Chain A
Amino acid sequence: MLDNIMVLVQAPLVPLQLLLDGIFIGAIFILIAYGLALVWGVMNVKNLAQGDFVIMGGYIAWVISNPKYMGAWAVHPILGLPVAMVFMFGFGWVIYFLIIKRVVYRDMFTSLLATFGLAIVIAQLLNQMFGPEVQVANSGYPTWTWGLLSVAAIKVVAFALTVILAAMVVIFMRYSRMGQAIRATAQDARAAKVMGIDTEHVYAFTYALNAAICGAAGVLISMIWVIQPFFGLPYSLRAFVVVTAAGLGNLPGIITYGLGLGVVEQFGGFILGAQFQQAIVVMVLVLVLIVRQIQQNRYRQAVV
């Protein structure tokens, strides 16, 4: 462990590399976490299937770029981005009317468990359809190196796309009619209803939008890391860590904690060994919850 810290000090490019990798991965966490914060805030649904939506998006990119499925129609996986967003939007819409609709007004544990069941179904169906193998979608982009530093072009592209996507969502939420309706519903569903907003429609749209955002994140992940039917849970957990830490409706917080988590994971993995990477995520979660409790205890108020 000490040797590893020494390396960090002696080769300044190494911490820079870790920082960059952390930011690239953190940007994707932000997307997933933002989607979660959206459904959590608007309709009070704790979506544990978040990570599995991500993996579904990844498989869409993999399928459309794979000649085995698409024959001569196989395209570059980056085109999976719009395809996955449209498909996942539709999927989210269907799931809303099948399942989520019935848990919106129920107690909070219900949505957690119901979406957990959904997560299992999605992961297992993917497993039955595509097999359990680890899959990757190849972007074919080069890697730039500069001494010890190496940056894969796809990571930069993905980062740029993430920023554009996030900006689009924010603008949409602020200025479009639907975005305003979503925010109104989040503030007070009953008042929104009285004002003539079709809250049912708003909920369905919100959930579908979240699925689309996750799908987009999945496309990027399939081109940068690897996907596999059972890789969903770690992403769900990370989204929960970020949202729990940042709170709902706090976009700057989500950005800070998302990037922070990515960076902490990379440095932790470097210093303690990669086997601690996952442990670090859950430890951060527990830590965040403890800190929040202490903060809330001052007011002797429950964390709800």
Chain B
Amino acid sequence: MSVSPKVLAGYGAILLLSLLAPVLFPNYLFQLAVLWMMILFALTWDIMGGQMGYNSLGNIFFFGAGMYISAIVQVGLYYNVGEYTDPSGTIEASFTPHQYFTGLTLGIIAAALGCTVFSIIFGRIVFGLRGPYFAIGTLGVALAAGELMGTWEWVGGGGGIPMPVYPYGPDQRARLFYYMCFVLAIVTFVFLKWLYSKRFGHAINAIRDDEEKAEAMGIHTLRYKTIAFAVAAFFLGMSGAIFGNMIGFIEPLEVAFPTITFGIFMVVMTLLGGKGTLWGPVLGAVVFHVVKETTWTYMLGWQWVALGALIIVNIVFFQQGILGWAAEKWPERFGIVVDKSRTAGGR
């Protein structure tokens, strides 16, 4: 794929704008950080849902697992987690800058690795399932994880864990987390772009199109499915670790395993933008997040009615998504060769 200067300029503009965001829009950093997070959600969901045709409703499991792994590492390095989370508040915890950053770094690494391991186990459970059973099975695992986390008292149960407090000023904290989300999303994007251009991309597309045939042609489908799941888990785990620290307080049902909010948003965003493409999820996430944040908060309760309606309209009437629609409208812009020679007699 040759890269034209125009495209390069496009990439450059986005990168530059994102890098300068803390200077240009200092008041919106938190929102923008969440936006990068949403882009990452959509991109990682699309690996399985769009490229491989396995519609998972439980990817949020890795987000929550990453968040908890990181929290346990960050707290556990210096305190007894059980005492730290005790609701009667027996210990007064504080973290020095050195402790904080060591914990954060190790926490994120542990979250990424831990989630990759989880994805292999999780995959063994659900990969034999097809179609709606796969969707329901993954949904079940994510819901079960939230429920069971809530009964595990050592990590605070339903009371959750207050995360270590950032040792420096608020503006610096906002910038740090913004850049972490930004870098993570960009790395995910570039990595997936590379991955899809390799044999891997073709293999998982083949699984989507016809798994039996793909297997008959010698593609080791289980291996590819496991890798695809692991890639999604790796990045989602890190995003969970970062998000937990960004929010500052984690709790199993609403923050760590928000199955019916973030868990569904990642599907809706991908479908909105157009699944099975690289830019579709990004576009979907941007449109979804911007529309949601500009209109939602003024609707005081009605926003969820609007969300439900959006999902229905999106799924029922507009499933190809924005990019899919654009590809139908202007096929030549997408490199789809419309054979005009027969109708127009060639050039």
Contact = CB atoms under 8 A, between A and B. Distances in A.
User: Are any A and B Cβ atoms less than 8 Å apart in their complex?
Assistant: yes
Interface of A: 46, 99, 102-103, 106-110, 112-114, 116-125, 127-128, 233, 237, 240, 244, 273, 275-276, 278-279, 282-283, 285-286, 289-290, 292-293, 296-297, 302-304
Contacts of B260: 233
Nearest to B319: A110
B290 interface: no
A107, A237, A244, A279: most-surrounded residue (chain B CB, <10 A)? A279
Given A102-B317, A118-B312, A286-B125, A125 B305 contact: yes
A289 B126 contact: yes
Given A244-B136, A293-B129, A113 B315 contact: yes
Contact of B311 (A108, A114, A128, A279): A114
Nearest to B271: A113
A285 B141 CA distance: 9
Contact of B308 (A106, A121, A233, A282): A121
Nearest to B131: A108
A258 to B, nearest CB: 17
Given A110-B315, A114-B316, A120 B133 contact: no
Contact of A120 (B135, B311, B319): B311
Interface in B161-212: 211
Contacts of B301: 124, 127-128
Contact of A279 (B135, B144, B312): B144
Given A103-B315, A117-B310, A276-B151, A112 B135 contact: yes
A217 to B, nearest CB: 21
Nearest to A304: B130
Q: A-B pairs with the 8 shortest C-beta distances? A: A117-B311, A120-B308, A121-B308, A279-B147, A293-B128, A117-B312, A282-B144, A124-B304
Given A112-B57, A124-B305, A286-B144, 12 more contacts: A99-B316, A103-B316, A117-B308, A120-B304, A121-B305, A121-B309, A278-B147, A289-B136, A289-B140, A293-B129, A303-B128, A303-B133
B125, B150, B304: most-surrounded residue (chain A CB, <10 A)? B304
B140 A296 contact: no
Interface of A is mostly: helix
B130 A302 contact: yes
A99 B140 contact: no
Interface of B: 55, 57, 125-126, 128-133, 135-137, 140-141, 143-144, 147-148, 150-151, 211, 260, 264, 267-268, 271, 301-302, 304-305, 307-312, 314-317, 319
B258 to A, nearest CB: 13
B334 to A, nearest CB: 23
A110 B49 CA distance: 12
Contacts of A286: 125, 137, 140-141, 144
Contacts of A46: 132, 136
B4 to A, nearest CB: 36
Contacts of B271: 113
Contact of A304 (B131, B136, B151, B307): B131
B55 A121 contact: no
A102 to B, nearest CB: 5
A151 to B, nearest CB: 29
Given A282-B143, A289-B126, A297-B128, A109 B55 contact: yes
B315 A244 contact: no
Contact of A119 (B57, B148, B308): B308
B136 A116 contact: no
A172 B128 CA distance: 37
A125 B304 CA distance: 9
26 contacts: A102-B316, A102-B317, A103-B315, A109-B135, A113-B315, A114-B315, A118-B312, A119-B308, A120-B311, A121-B309, A127-B304, A279-B144, A279-B147, A279-B151, A282-B143, A282-B144, A289-B125, A289-B126, A289-B137, A292-B133, A293-B129, A296-B128, A297-B128, A302-B128, A303-B130, A304-B130
A113 B55 CA distance: 10
Contacts of B312: 99, 114, 117-118, 121
A113 B267 contact: yes
A233 B271 CA distance: 23
Contact of B140 (A114, A124, A285): A285
B132 A109 contact: yes
A276 B152 CA distance: 11
A243 B261 CA distance: 25
A302 B308 CA distance: 32
A219 B23 CA distance: 58
